[in-house]
Structure 1
Amino acid sequence: MSWLTNTVIQPSNTAQQLKYSLIRREPTVTMAEHLHARNDALKTNGFTFNGISTQINITPRGSDWYFTVCAVMTVSSIVFVGMGLRKPRTHRVFHYITASITMVAAIAYFTMGANLGWAPTEVEFHRRDHEVAGNYREIFYVRYIDWFITTPLLLMDLLLTAGMPWPTVLYVILVDEIMIVTGLVGALVTTSYKWGYFTIGCVALVYIVYQLAWEARIHANHVGPDVGRVFLWCGSLTAVVWILYPIAWGVCEGGNLISPDSEAVFYGILDIIAKPVFGAILLFGHRNIDPARLGLRIRDVNERIVPEGPNVKPGQQRNAGNVNAPEGSTSA
């Protein structure tokens, strides 16, 4: 019986391990920590460019935010293209323009999330706050490449909705390109001369806002109340949001007042409103508007050119209703 007593009284190693496992809790890993651990973009691509290292740069949180905005832009692009596929090919111009805006933005935000597309720039103002302390700040020039492509498309969405003349559309786009280029040059300049470029960009912005608030609004109301209403929604949204961009530039690239992570959130929120939100409102408003009313008559493959009539099918004659008209003649 001694062997039985020893077996009952002395716990086995397995029982002891079970007891210890119940007492000692293994550390749990949240989903956010898991995703954070998987994002090694900053470690992979680093903060050194052409032998210059930045001290003021994004953290993994900023990188995660950039990837989040990239996902928003990507989903928006898919939705906008899908909405366009439900329309005739002659009615997809605004869907394709709007989807192109978010497509380009998605690529730009992926690049920034991967910590690419930036240049080290010496700051004009040196701060004591540890988040913006240092000599070199990370400036994402890819953001300006995005704007150089997408802001003209945004203006085309608005100005074509208003039925503006093509010379005016092209001139406003030129002024917009000046605004973006001066913003980029100012961001990369290390001296106080950057504020000269900033001023030029602000003057260009004032002209663009004037065109949206006055000239284009009058044209849109002349086309029809439904067109005027859509333009009022989208034009007002664009004017208000675009006015906030110089403020963001002033506290980020210009004044070095807020950290690159805060810069990412500031610009990211503005871009989400200015692109996916803007696009959703615009396309919803265009759902019952024929582009031909806006001077955007587009001929499909089974239609004749405009002199024969906009909706004449092959084999039909424009004067088919005049039975007495000789072949090849035209009615008065």
Structure 2
Amino acid sequence: MPGNNALAVNSVVGQHANLEITTHGSDWYFAVCAIMGFSTLAFMGMAFTKPQSHRLFNYLTAAITATACISYFCMGSNLGQVPIQAEFVRPGRAQVAGADLLRALHRLVHYDPLLLTDLLLTSGVSWPTLIAVLFADIAMVVTGLVGALTQTRYKWGFWTFGMFGLFYIIYELIGPARRNAAALGEGPKKTFLMCGVLLSFLWFLYPIAWGLSEGGNVIHPDSEAIFYGILDVIAKPVWGALLLWGHRNITPQQLGLHIRGDTSPISEKGRGPHGAHGGAPDGPATTAGANGTPATAGAGGATV
């Protein structure tokens, strides 16, 4: 029975570093890919047991693991790396290292922004705060990518910029977001604290992984795969399961989210003289706009 020959098959695709993952590293990547794929199916299956208006967090969490599944399939196939001359050439380590472009891109496009959206919506923070935190997160990932693609010691300047972004994110999580979640009730408070503490701890380990691999060329690519893979399994499927478990008794309305079910007609209850929705008791207040239509007050009270 043939084994994993992905490295041999894809050796003709693009340029390669002089020290790459072995078959053991590829097997590990494919194992993580399978975990991510199974988690995606589980989170989507859980979504279909809920009303359509209560599926937001299931869909966000499933999108995180689905993106990771595709990314880990590519990394297990040894695709998506960019050869870069290593700043620190060490015995038994790569002289031309492989910067993993796919890992950075999947964090930039889906993983990190969706994780933070999941967590910050749980705390009911304002939309300006959410946008500011997402910007800091994107800046953190981009600087990490640019640093990995930089051959000189200036890569550590980009690493420093990324750390400033991380510190700002942690400040928002342990400060305004935590206080906001506490004001929403015991359910959001416990869920936010549980998931926020775990995510904050894990995110301080990612810069260490970067420093030992893309930055310092200290560990073998297989060890890099294991380090990042363990972090991602905890930060995606495990973290996502904890978040959804915490949301089992939390309604979107409790978080200031007013989501209309796809197949549910718009309720006539509470319509005013202009045909607009009246606010729910726990929803945002409405004030008259310049054209006589109501304007929603409060950043967390969007209707989807």
TM tier, smaller? 0.7 to 0.9
Answering whether residue 121 of structure 2 is matched by residue 160 of structure 1, we say yes
1:226 corresponds to which letter in structure 2? G
**Counterpart for residue 172 of structure 2:** 211
Aligned residue for 2:83, secondary structure, equals strand
**Counterpart for residue 137 of structure 1:** 97
Unpaired segments ≥5 residues, structure 2: 271-275, 281-304
Residues 304 and 310, structure 1, Cα contact 8 Å, conserved in 2? no
Selected match of 2:247 from 268, 283, 286: 286
1:81 corresponds to which letter in structure 2? M
Unpaired segments ≥5 residues, structure 1: 1-33, 312-332
**Counterpart for residue 273 of structure 2:** none
Structure number with higher relative contact order (C-alpha < 8 Å, ≥ 6 residues apart): 2
Residues 47 and 53, structure 1, Cα contact 8 Å, conserved in 2? no
* 1:225-247 per-position Cα deviation (integer Å, ceiling 9, x unaligned): 11100000000000000000000
How far the C-alpha of 1:48 sits from its partner, in A, is: 6.7
Structure of greater Rg = 1
**Counterpart for residue 40 of structure 2:** 77
How far the C-alpha of 1:299 sits from its partner, in A, is: 1.6
Aligned residue for 1:126, secondary structure, equals coil
Selected match of 1:237 from 198, 201, 213: 198
Q: What pairs with 1:1-332 in structure 2 (closer than 5 Å)?
A: 37-46=2-11, 49=14, 52-128=15-91, 130=92, 132=93, 134-148=94-108, 149-300=110-261, 301-304=264-267, 307-309=276-278
TM-score (norm 1): 0.79
* 1:40-71 per-position Cα deviation (integer Å, ceiling 9, x unaligned): 1100111773xx54212100000000000000
How far the C-alpha of 1:75 sits from its partner, in A, is: 0.3
Residues 176 and 205, structure 1, Cα contact 8 Å, conserved in 2? yes
How far the C-alpha of 1:310 sits from its partner, in A, is: 6.8
**Counterpart for residue 321 of structure 1:** none
**Counterpart for residue 31 of structure 1:** none
Q: Distance in 2 between matches of 1:212 and 1:105?
A: 24
Q: Distance in 2 between matches of 1:280 and 1:195?
A: 35
Aligned residue for 2:218, secondary structure, equals coil
TM-score (norm 2): 0.86
Residues 194 and 254, structure 1, Cα contact 8 Å, conserved in 2? yes
Q: Distance in 2 between matches of 1:135 and 1:98?
A: 38
Residues 48 and 54, structure 1, Cα contact 8 Å, conserved in 2? no
How far the C-alpha of 1:283 sits from its partner, in A, is: 0.3
* 1:236-286 per-position Cα deviation (integer Å, ceiling 9, x unaligned): 000000000000000000000000000000000000111101100000000
How far the C-alpha of 1:304 sits from its partner, in A, is: 2.9
Q: Distance in 2 between matches of 1:309 and 1:282?
A: 31
Q: Distance in 2 between matches of 1:113 and 1:260?
A: 12
Q: Distance in 2 between matches of 1:253 and 1:242?
A: 16
Distance 1:258 1:280, change over 3 A: same
Q: Distance in 2 between matches of 1:47 and 1:136?
A: 17
Residues 62 and 113, structure 1, Cα contact 8 Å, conserved in 2? yes
**Counterpart for residue 300 of structure 2:** none
1:96 corresponds to which letter in structure 2? Y
2:67 corresponds to which letter in structure 1? V
Residues 299 and 310, structure 1, Cα contact 8 Å, conserved in 2? no
Bigger shift: residues 262-271 or 38-47? 38-47
Q: Distance in 2 between matches of 1:248 and 1:96?
A: 29
Aligned residue for 1:80, secondary structure, equals helix
Distance 1:254 1:139, change over 3 A: same
Q: Percent identity?
A: 49
Aligned residue for 2:260, secondary structure, equals coil
Q: Distance in 2 between matches of 1:256 and 1:217?
A: 37
1:114 corresponds to which letter in structure 2? S
Distance 1:162 1:62, change over 3 A: same
How far the C-alpha of 1:309 sits from its partner, in A, is: 4.3
2:10 corresponds to which letter in structure 1? N
Q: Which runs of 4+ in 1 moved over 6 A?
A: none
